[in-house]
Amino acid sequence: MRIIFYIQPGAKKNKFVGFHRGMPKIKIHAKAENNQANLELISFIAELLKIPKSKITIISGNKSRIKTLEIPDGSSTTIFQSKGSQLIMPF
């Protein structure tokens, strides 16, 4: 499954903060230098979804705040969906 995220690097801590123009918005502690924010984003998403980091790939947006991530179908029951400004987590 592909999910488009809006990323804000350089935050105080890693955190899902809602939606930005219909995309899940995530604040990442690492700065956008030397691929640090991308690596920390993958670690954060993997921890959130309880899947190995190796299962997550940045498809596009390596040098952009808007990133498309590939996450394997069926790897988790947690799905990001825009419903107003809520994160829906069906179990």
**Ordered structural domains, the chain, with CATH:** 2-87 (3.30.1200.10)
pLDDT of residue 1: 83
The pTM of this model reads: 0.81
Q: Give the pLDDT score at 74.
A: 65
Determine what percent of the chain is predicted with pLDDT higher than 70.
Answer: 80
Could you tell me which residue, 89 or 75, shows the higher pLDDT? 75
Which pLDDT tens digit goes with each residue over 24-36? 899 999 999 999 9
Beta carbons of 61 and 68 less than 8 angstroms apart = yes
Q: Give the pLDDT confidence score for residue 91 in this predicted structure.
A: 30
